[in-house]
């Protein structure tokens, strides 16, 4: 009788084995055979903490007598091995673009074939949260977009490790085999499907799929599905634009301007008794009553009630605030249990109506013209998905800098030209002690370089793996507060960060936290649609491809606090699809340790399913976080003045690399660059920048 070794609940172990066992999914479907030298349960080592089990996503059944070698998280920590675990890499979908045109003949299909495609989408369990959000009409549109593909026997439809991963496939006829690392793991025939990760984001193929016979497939491009998923938000924004057209001071605007303003509207939620605007206060925000009832008071006397519903003519108030500093003429108070308003502030209004009034410049600093040849190499600080970071000493000033170097050939190969240029522009827009500063940029024949402020205390992922800080409220409060200030600075400049995690938080010599790596950040008025970031930190709207705004950063802050306090994220699983299922289930389904109290309450308010109801997105903004009871003993004023003592001061030494653990094998590829002639990097170089940033950059 086979014995189940790991089923339902596991207690944080990783086993290396002798013998044979079978791995099955939760639905008892065989996945693969485990043999001598293989291992299982490794995900439990990466994020679990003592006192909590983790639900397994499958079972391991012994087929023969087995000998297992078991490694627990405690042993991993005691042996000092956890710091060697590779850091999490962000993922990113393709840049926003329209679907490519296909030959219409290839799209033609019979009603039976259309039903086959829709059935395959519904039955593909790994697509779970994505398909359940789609209506019958949505599925019809996706099925209509599917393209017929005929293949010969022994044809590799997809190859394991390939980064060309743009289509999801449904088998109409023929037989195919799925192989992982050369081992057969699945047989596919009529009605089967594969390649589902391609519908979510651009990631290397996890397996090879090869035809055993001649086969007919239907391919669904990612971009076609994205259009369907984004349609509800775009339809909602069109409705917002119609509402704006009824406001006297906005009637003269063109359709494009109204559409931009509609996308800039912020959905805000108020509860019964909360004040939306206060008589006598100066205001700069205009409101549309979208759903619910409010009371209008003048001199504390109710003079009217206003009602709004999404399907009727909406009332609006405060429109003069878009043009003038005028005291509010009345008080508006939420009268129903819940009120939804759409808010537009003067700054966004002027950015659209009069873009020339946007302020791009930063405060002037003493500047110097940097030379790449004058930057002396001191050591390797880190490796990312697209480049390396080295410590450099400037021979012109004597100051230390971090030099981030990217292969231009690899950038072009991965189609990240716009992302790199975008990162440079965003760094030029920021100036905060909680964000790594940019000094200069260089453009060479084969490489691009960012000259950055050094933060010599190392990243928080490494710090937390070496130090027993998980569960420490003082550390979590301090580091999360630094992130709050960074997000506040970015959001004031209409920048969404989108890649929060401990790996992207660096400590300076005083122990203060700085946000780094802006490769996925974006300047946005309204919503954007690119799926990117680290899956465990995705917000639900990122998973669902319905459009997102700055609220995704506040969700990520909640996940970060959870990780600081427990040692793992609330949505941990071994595969992205499984992570996405957990995220869609919501924070309410997450287990919180006993005694978590105030910090758990804060996480739940930051990770609210509705973006507009996340704590900083409600009336009061960031102040709602500052006054939360978890921060009751925390001095925000001292943090602002940079006088608050950090809970941990990294080992000192201006040029010391002791705080950095870098694997040489993690260096990204260097690809020979051939200029495509598009001029994409023409404006990248900007050698003039500040002489220094702080005492840390001076020797």
User: Can you say whether residue 200 is alpha, beta or left, with left for phi > 0 and alpha for psi between -120 and 50 degrees?
Assistant: alpha
| Phi, then psi, of 539 in degrees rounded to 5 | -85, 160
Buried b (16+ CB within 10 A) or exposed e, 76-109: bbeeeebeeeebbebbbbeeeeeeeeeeeeeeeb
Check: CB of residue 438 under 8 Å from CB of residue 424: yes
Q: Which of 263, 459, 499, 681 is catalytic?
A: 499
Q: Is residue 138 flagged as an active site residue?
A: no
Tally the residues of the chain: 699
Query: How far, in Å, CA of 343 to CA of 358, rounded?
Result: 20
Query: How far, in Å, CA of 594 to CA of 587, rounded?
Result: 16
Going along 337-445, which residue ranges are E strands?
338-345, 367-369, 375-383, 387-394, 400-407, 438-443
Residue 182 tokens, joined? 């050369």
Query: How far, in Å, CA of 69 to CA of 333, rounded?
Result: 64
Query: How far, in Å, CA of 528 to CA of 640, rounded?
Result: 31
Q: How many CB atoms lie within 10 A of CB 698?
A: 13
Query: How far, in Å, CA of 23 to CA of 459, rounded?
Result: 36
Specify the DSSP class assigned to residue 7: B
Of 525, 523, 351, 553, the C-alpha closest to 426 is 523
Dihedral through CA 244, CA 247, CA 251, CA 255, nearest 10? 0
What is the Cα 290 distance to its own chain's centre?
29
Residue 420 tokens, joined? 């790199």
Q: What is the largest CA-CA distance in the chain?
A: 83
Specify the DSSP class assigned to residue 525: S
The kind and range of the H/E element at 145 are helix 136-145
Query: How far, in Å, CA of 680 to CA of 672, rounded?
Result: 16
Q: Which residues are catalytic?
A: 499
């Amino acid at each position: 009788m086979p014995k189940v070794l790991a089923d339902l609940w596991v207690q944080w172990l990783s086993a290396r084995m002798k013998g044979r066992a079978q791995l099955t999914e939760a639905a008892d479907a065989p996945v693969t055979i485990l043999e001598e030298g293989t291992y299982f349960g490794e995900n439990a080592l990466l994020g679990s903490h003592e006192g909590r089990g983790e639900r397994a996503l499958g079972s391991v059944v012994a087929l023969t007598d087995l000998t297992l070698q078991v490694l627990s998280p405690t042993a991993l920590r005691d042996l000092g091995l956890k710091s060697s675990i590779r850091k999490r890499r962000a993922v990113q979908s393709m840049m926003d673009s329209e679907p490519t045109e296909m030959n219409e003949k290839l799209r033609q299909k019979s009603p039976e074939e259309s039903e086959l495609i829709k059935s395959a989408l519904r039955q593909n369990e790994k697509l779970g949260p994505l398909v359940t959000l789609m209506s019958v009409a949505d599925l019809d549109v996706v099925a209509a977009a599917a393209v017929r593909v005929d293949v010969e026997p022994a044809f590799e439809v997809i190859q394991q490790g390939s980064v060309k991963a743009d289509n999801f496939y449904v088998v109409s006829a023929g037989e195919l085999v799925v192989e992982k690392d050369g081992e057969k793991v699945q047989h596919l025939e009529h009605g089967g499907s594969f390649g589902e990760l391609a519908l979510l984001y651009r990631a290397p193929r996890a397996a090879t799929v090869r035809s055993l016979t001649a086969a007919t497939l239907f391919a669904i491009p990612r971009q076609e599905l994205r259009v369907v998923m984004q349609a509800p938000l775009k339809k909602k924004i069109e409705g917002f634009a119609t509402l704006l057209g009824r406001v006297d001071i906005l009637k003269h605007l063109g359709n494009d301007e109204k559409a931009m303003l509609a996308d800039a509207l912020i959905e805000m939620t108020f509860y019964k008794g909360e004040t939306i605007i206060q008589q006598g206060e100066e205001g700069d925000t205009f409101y549309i009553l979208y759903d619910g009832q409010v009371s209008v008071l003048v001199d504390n006397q109710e003079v009217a009630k206003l009602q709004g519903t999404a399907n009727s003519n909406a009332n609006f108030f405060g429109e003069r605030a878009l043009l003038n500093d005028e005291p509010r003429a009345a008080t508006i108070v939420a009268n129903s249990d819940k009120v939804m308003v759409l808010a537009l502030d003067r700054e966004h209004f002027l950015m659209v109506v009069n873009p020339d009034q946007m302020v791009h410049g930063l405060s002037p600093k003493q500047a110097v013209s940097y030379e790449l040849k004058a930057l002396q190499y001191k050591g390797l600080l880190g490796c990312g998905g697209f480049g390396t970071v080295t410590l450099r000493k400037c021979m012109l000033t004597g100051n230390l800098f971090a030099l981030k170097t990217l292969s231009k050939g690899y950038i072009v190969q991965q189609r990240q030209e716009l992302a790199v240029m975008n990162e440079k522009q965003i760094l030029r827009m920021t100036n905060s002690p909680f964000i790594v500063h940019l000094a200069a940029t260089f453009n060479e024949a084969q490489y691009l370089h960012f000259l950055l402020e050094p933060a010599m205390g190392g990243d928080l992922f490494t710090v937390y793996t070496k130090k027993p800080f998980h569960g420490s409220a003082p550390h979590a409060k301090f580091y999360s507060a630094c992130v709050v200030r960074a997000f506040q600075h970015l959001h004031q400049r209409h920048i969404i960060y989108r890649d929060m995690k401990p790996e992207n938080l660096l400590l300076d010599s005083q122990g203060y936290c700085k946000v780094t790596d802006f490769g996925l950040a974006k300047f946005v008025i309204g919503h954007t649609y690119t799926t990117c970031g680290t899956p465990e930190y995705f917000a639900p709207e990122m998973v669902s491809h319905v459009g997102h705004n700055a609220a995704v950063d506040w969700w990520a802050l909640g996940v970060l606090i959870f990780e600081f306090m427990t040692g793992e994220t609330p949505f941990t699983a071994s595969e992205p699809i499984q992570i996405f299922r957990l995220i869609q289930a919501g924070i309410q389904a997450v287990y919180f340790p006993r005694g978590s109290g105030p910090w758990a309450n804060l996480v739940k308010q930051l990770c609210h399913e509705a973006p507009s109801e996340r704590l900083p997105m409600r009336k009061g903004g960031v102040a709602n976080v500052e006054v939360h009871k978890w921060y009751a003993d925390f001095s925000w004023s001292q943090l602002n003045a940079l006088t608050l003592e950090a809970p941990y001061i990294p080992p000192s030494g201006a040029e010391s690399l002791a705080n950095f653990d870098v694997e040489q094998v993690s260096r990204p590829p260097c690809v020979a660059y051939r200029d495509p002639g598009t001029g994409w990097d023409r404006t990248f170089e900007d050698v003039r920048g500040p002489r220094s940033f702080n005492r840390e950059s001076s020797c």
